[in-house]
Structure 1
Amino acid sequence: MDLREYYLSNVKASDYHYRFLDFVKKVNYSYNVFYGVRETQNYQFEIYDVEDAITKFRELCQLDLYFSVEDKCWFYLITYYLNMLGYEIKEFPRILARPPVEPEKFTRDDIGGKIIALGRDDKGDIRYAARRAFVEEMTFKKNNCSIEVNDSINQKFIEISTRQASFSSMHIDEKIAEIANLIENLLKQDGKYSTPEYENVCCGFIDDSIVKSYRNKMQCFRHCTDEAIEERKAYSEAQKNFLVDYGLTIVKAIHQLVK
């Protein structure tokens, strides 16, 4: 899998990682006073699978002093890729979602600070063996929603996704946006919104007013205006996870009622 191609094909202006777009685009180019900007490198950013990406990320975390242009691009691409798949690092929960522009801030300062806090330094110095051991111990975990998405519903997510993405490959904000989109898609019949008989399956816990309220509140995840982006920031990760599970429950109910 080409991580650079994956990034360029999927990153959106509303994504935190969008700030790295210009760097990623030009990673193989350099400026010469005689020839101007020319493609002088052929850096490749290929991985086999998620495990391969995590292994490469651990290698980058051994670099506490200097990141080459190639290393920096790897850092940007891997953090984007793993974040898109819903991964986080237990010891540094926000690093994949919000990596610093200068990777050394994480690999030198954050990792070094954690090693010192654990008392595994040598009078303030971080030995290579201590760093290597700590990096190998870092726990990568995937935040899966607790509501199962069956094949039929997942196929509908793929069909409405602008990038034909399966639900599991979406980052959390994208999941909420696509849940809202799918609810609308399922309810719209012949250009008009239908009102399913929710009481037939929902035991009074979900009705038309609840579905409308959910859709209205999730509008900020569907738009990229400054106001919408600010509104999204008000939700914690725990709240977003709840909104995913709650939204999927609504989707499953509607899917059963309208199929």
Structure 2
Amino acid sequence: MTSMAWSQRFATGIKAIDKDHSSLFDLMEAIAEHERRRSSLAEVAATLHALEVYAAEHFEREERFMISAHFPEFDRHRRAHADFRALIGALARQYRRSPDAIDLGKVRHFLVTWIMGHIMGEDMAYVPYLNGTTTPPPGSPEPSMPTEMLMRLPPEKHDIVRRFASLMRDGGEVAEALESTLLALERHHEQALDNKVRTLFAPDPLDLTPCAEGDESAEPMDLTDLMESPEPEAPSPLVSRTVPATSRRRRPEA
């Protein structure tokens, strides 16, 4: 049975990261123990859930460190994190649905292989940037952390929005497809609103239908009334008012 325990050869020299990695080895050993003693479904499911939580918390912390150190391979590293989170989430979900379809031995072997490759390869690459012995070359683009957002939502929408945000954060083909679909839905919604506005508020067309003969209730329309403006009335003559000479003010003599 392939197993592995934490040792100093996996240490990065960064206390917070090494503490997280040690916890990951504990979870991996717990899965090996479940396999040995055939633990209950609830125990295995709890460990897989703990692995999901670990991945979310540790990867976020690690990514913040990489951003602060301007690690140039940040985007590629974050993508590796996203792929691992997605796979572990699918594993935990599948185990809850059909535990007999999951071989814990293969799960353990995958974790050993992934952890060895990721810690000894991917993680060790950022260590010189975090401890300051290496700096990115001049002109290197600065990585950016996704912006945190606060939004009030109905309780029944929390899960779907969280899942949507996670997929958009991780990027890749799924995020691109979601973005394209969202833009198409927005265009469709705008067109529907434009049609509704035209239906509700467009002016009625002029009724140019001739009146039926003998219909006394309707009067024929004279189109000249619409095209000719009425002649303006002549303005009323102004009434002049003569001011008596006696009422005129005399200019004082100098």
Place the TM-score, normalised by the shorter chain, in its bin.
Answer: under 0.3
Bigger relative CO (Cα 8 Å, ≥ 6 apart): 2
Structure with greater proportional strand content: 1
Structure with greater proportional helix content: 2
The normalised TM-score by structure 1 is: 0.27
